[in-house]
A and B are shown apart, each in its own frame.
Chain A
């Protein structure tokens, strides 16, 4: 597609439930990144994909967080047993190697 697409745009979930966030990157962009942004804060790196592998997952805050990418395209970020501190905007970006990022509009996750 023309841009990076994320779904859903908003998600409200109950504490303890699992959620899946989806990212469709720009076709041909080999690099894909997930970031988290809490209200009024900067972006916190979560994980980086090159193709379908994740050479850097150092930003995942706990083992409740996991992500995968298939077909060098779509990526899914899964948060298990959500907690209130997981509430944030989750941003996905893709890029050609070493270039500027193109961001999606994000998924605003609210855990109640």
Chain B
């Protein structure tokens, strides 16, 4: 398996429900980021959580990070049809003490929110 694996691979919910996506990784990280992708083109940065942080909020998004379990979760509350997209976690690994920004992406979770 690879650095940054999301589960589930696909998630289908009704509008108004919460959506939770999980990400696991293997190596020590500097930070973990979540991205959203519509229609297989450019990704949009959602949120970055650093290795010394445990939880972060941004609007309807809540991200947690458990470095002991090497896992993260993304919660979208009160989902909307417009949240339908693919969601990717990405990890920036420690590189000799420098903040080297190369990200390794997972395979993504396809979220479908039904109106």
Contact = CB atoms under 8 A, between A and B. Distances in A.
Interface in B79-115: 88, 90, 92, 99-108
Interface in A14-50: 31, 33, 35, 37, 39, 41-43, 45, 48
Contact of B107 (A42, A48, A93): A42
Interface residues of A, number: 26
B67 interface: no
Interface of A: 4, 31, 33, 35, 37, 39, 41-43, 45, 48, 56, 89, 91, 93, 95, 97-106
Contacts of B101: 31, 33, 48, 95, 97-99, 101
B99 A39 contact: no
Nearest to A106: B41
A24 to B, nearest CB: 13
14 contacts: A4-B42, A33-B102, A37-B40, A42-B105, A42-B108, A48-B101, A48-B102, A56-B102, A95-B101, A98-B100, A100-B33, A103-B42, A103-B43, A103-B45
Contacts of B90: 43
Nearest to B39: A105
Interface of B: 4, 30-31, 33, 35, 40-45, 48, 88, 90, 92, 99-108
A99 B48 CA distance: 8
B75 to A, nearest CB: 19
A43 B105 contact: yes
